Amino acid sequence: MYLVENRASLVADGVYSMRFSFSGAGIAFVRNAFDGFGELCLYRDGKTTVIEREFHAYGSFVVSPDGKVVFYTLTDDGRTTGYIYDGRKKEIGTDVFPIAVADGAKYIYYNRNGTLYVQKGDNSDTRENLGSNSYITAFNKDLTQAVYTRDGRSYISRNGSKGDSLSGNVVNFLLPSGTVNNGQAIGISSFADTYYRDDESNIRRIDNKFEVSGIVARGVMSAYIADDGKTIIYMRGDRISRVDGSKTNAEPVELVSGDVSQFIPTDNGKAVYYVNTDRELFYQKGTGKSVRAGDYLSSDTLYGGFFSLFKGNTLFYISDGELFTTDGGRGKVIRGFDGEVIGVSAGMFGITVQTNSGSERLNYQSTDGKNFEFTAAYPLY
């Protein structure tokens, strides 16, 4: 089903697997899979195009951000060959495993016999070897830039180049909420003037020349960046601090002086929710006094965390098997769930809640944070 402005329309029946484009404009999918084979299709602008009628159901395929290009593999007599479809079918080469394809197939990324490559479209003369046992850490939104790791060090490839070395190994980028989806920075046009945490727990900045300009903070356990793209809120030891990463040698401001086990800031970075070692929840705005928001927090971590942020400021959390919500004050309970609440996951567009009820796990969802609808039940045993 394809959902536009709360109205769903049917794309296809009998769908075995699918890949959405990051723009939401196209869907590549496999349908009618019988005896291990099905049709590989592309849906865009209300029209479905069959790309391959004999596609292995377990075959690999990816779709470009604009939903116009599909990069896929076919297997014949034990030999795997990669192809690009952009209205026409073009062969890439044998033993290819697709990783990503840019709009217009301007750049394609794939693994071949354990080695990572990038090349421009179907022109194998432009292929760049990014190294054996290498893997992609992140893409920018149009796939013109890729950060990859090889032998414990990270590099950034731009416009199909082999890549310049960064400092250390990138563990994760600090990017504003809602800009990352499965490793692709869907809201980031460039990694210039961005921040990352390395494998030595330091936060570093990539400047507008794609050079690492220094260490913003050291010994960081966890960190977030505000939606201004430069204010970094981080935890070191059991303390929470804030620093303006865009200023060289900026002095951090301590927000919470100790006894912190976990925390999460609001999207604007002006306040934090944190949990102390007794699992009590507090809210603090700026350097002001902390406000007690909730009692002992609990959850079954197998099914989700015990607190999660919704729409940048509202926190949902679990205490004594019930769901609570707070905007900074004392939390209020939300009732109407069957069983004990064991997990909550929130984001920009909704909240998912899991409960245990007898021999079943129940799922509930909400888009406004107030009205929850039952969506599914699964046996626990």
Residue that is last in its domain, among 74, 102, 132: 132
Q: The domain spanning residue 90 has which CATH number?
A: 2.120.10.30
Measured CA to CA, the distance from residue 124 to residue 90 in angstroms comes to: 12
- What pLDDT, on a 0 to 100 scale, did the predictor assign at position 187? 74
Which pLDDT tens digit goes with each residue over 227-245? Answer: 999 999 999 999 999 999 9
Asked, for residue 260, whether it belongs to a domain, the answer is no
Residue that is last in its domain, among 105, 132, 159: 132
Residue tagged 């992140």 (tokens): 138
The count of structural domains within the chain is: 2
SS3 189: coil
Asked, for residue 281, whether it belongs to a domain, the answer is no
Asked, for residue 283, whether it belongs to a domain, the answer is no
Question: What is the pLDDT tens value at each position of the chain, 381 positions in all?
Answer: 767 666 778 888 889 999 989 888 899 999 998 888 999 999 998 899 999 999 988 889 999 999 999 999 998 887 899 999 999 999 999 999 999 999 999 999 999 999 999 999 999 999 999 999 999 989 999 999 999 999 989 999 999 998 889 988 999 899 887 777 666 666 789 999 999 999 999 999 999 999 998 899 999 999 999 999 999 999 999 999 999 999 988 999 999 999 999 999 999 999 999 999 998 999 999 988 999 999 888 755 544 568 899 988 999 999 999 999 999 999 999 999 999 999 999 887 789 999 999 899 999 999 999 999 999 999 987
Residue that is last in its domain, among 111, 132, 153: 132
Measured CA to CA, the distance from residue 277 to residue 50 in angstroms comes to: 56
Asked, for residue 381, whether it belongs to a domain, the answer is yes
- What pLDDT, on a 0 to 100 scale, did the predictor assign at position 164? 86
Asked, for residue 262, whether it belongs to a domain, the answer is no
- What pLDDT, on a 0 to 100 scale, did the predictor assign at position 303? 47
Range of the domain at 339: 295-381
pTM of the full structure:
0.84
Vertex 140, ends 136 and 141: CA angle to 5°?
A: 125
Residue tagged 């592309």 (tokens): 42
Asked, for residue 278, whether it belongs to a domain, the answer is no
Which pLDDT tens digit goes with each residue over 311-354? Answer: 889 999 999 999 999 999 999 999 999 999 999 998 877 899 99
Asked, for residue 317, whether it belongs to a domain, the answer is yes
- What pLDDT, on a 0 to 100 scale, did the predictor assign at position 242? 96
